[in-house]
Structure 1
């Protein structure tokens, strides 16, 4: 073998080794287990086509278990490279513990407004630790075909809402509403946080609670529990043992007329229903005619970098792509109901998603009341609200007792509520 050929072979081997070293698999931790197929068939292939050296493994946990599972993995050093970030306090805690990396220097961060980034920043805004992906809007999805059969119209007020539920129940063809309490978070997220902003007046009430000028025992915070207590009669037999997937199935199989929802269900329900019936949506009914409409338009989901990832460079490449207009358009249309936070406008193709986002024109937006600042202590207000909401719907705790318990828990550690 000549010296030149030997050197060529050595060079070839070295280059081959370098190429192999660049082939990495990034694992994404997420609570979104119902969109696994979309990630596998749409989002991941789009990225991998332009980044041949990087593979993506989307590995979600069950929503109710995600926080505990993720924290355990991070503490044990076994978490994935990319961490799907809940907004505000839960992710801020991970950053403060050094488990999420500072992403302020990503070029793609320029594609997001200060408002979009605020859910994943330090209180002073000096560090941004997750790339914003989408917000979600709460409301009610209904079986439009069933409504037409029964001669029903979407309600505008609380009185009209319960009159509607009574008519559906009396007819007997459909369960009036599909919601269970077995998972607890469902009762809080699709129940309390859905209808609540109309009673505590959205951002006004949420900020008053943070400032300490309002209390969880005030009427605006107890009233949504009172409405939830009335839901019990409309949820069908055995709702206490009904899980989140059970509720989804009841609606998509055409057995329930109304589904208290987050807009994220749009992309899930469409393929499952597959034209069996038409869907419509209405915003949370206001307490009385003439009241201002408030909706939960919640900065919901972002993606961060595990500070302990051995593949940080590749992970940052993926995060730059997640912050791009290309991803924004792909994500918003692959997952209709997740509304892009990217500054580049996204034209949505799904009519039900267009219906949800149209409420921004007539309703005042807010975020979920427990997510910013108020769940930093123990007991955790977010998790306690899950339990309280489920108890109220089940009838095992009165609205007043639930509100009093939440207030006592918050005041036990949060100084502004100790005045």
Structure 2
């Protein structure tokens, strides 16, 4: 009681947490009706030391294991078996282990990554005489199991970011490369739109969403002029198809229009006092026209519209990291296109100046419309 009196903010926060947990239990989103105890967080330097110590311990253990099997005749089979044992051991610990110290988690994480790499090596060396599609399918199944069963966030992200290219490689091997880029965009929208509908799989879907976003951006980088100059593998260059690029632009435009519609539907539900700006219909029309213009610009500048779509997703679902990634990608794609132009620096500077003047004129036009609309609303309010 004394602690509650001395710390009223802490007491009210605990009551709010208890009420929220009870509400989640009544809706069937959690299984236990008792609020779990809050664990005290360690200082950042203690966590950093534990992370370094866990990785060092895992590397020493891995070096000992590799040195032990160096003298084995059938090294490929031994690496595959040891990789399976390490992966299963880490998976069992993630599911039933109770020690959640950062040192132990990081050591298990390092051993799990090492076990997956050993399994990939062993699968490739054992089945290299078979079809490459079978190997890619086994890779995808391995990463899918880790992404679904392991609750560790970093491990889920690595498994997801490796699972997506494995599945896309299968499409490229079966002469379906035209579907790769549009399929990535469709999957990106499906994952982020279902993020809050399956709360039990929230973390998995979130990591898959970021993995899909990175793969989409990499695919657009391959489509850019900078990607064509690089000596990339033939499977990756399968993205280089104009029809696939145009279809992806259409899919991005439709997805952006759907997001804009949802955003303005939410804004229309708010009171008029909180939206004391241009009428929503006019702003929505401007947003739609901007989306169409950006889609047209993305035909010569690959990736612009996709970066804007990810920016809208980050804003709509309140994902700061996705928003930052989209902004960085947008600046990078514009910079790559600017660098690849076969023009002199003087001509490029003239184009930049003209673009800046056009943006300033658009901003001035929008600001004047906003002022006129607000003045009309004030006059109507005074008359009433």
TM-score range, shorter chain: under 0.3
Higher relative contact order (CA 8 A, sep 6+): 1
TM-score (norm 2): 0.24
Larger radius of gyration: 2
TM-score (norm 1): 0.22
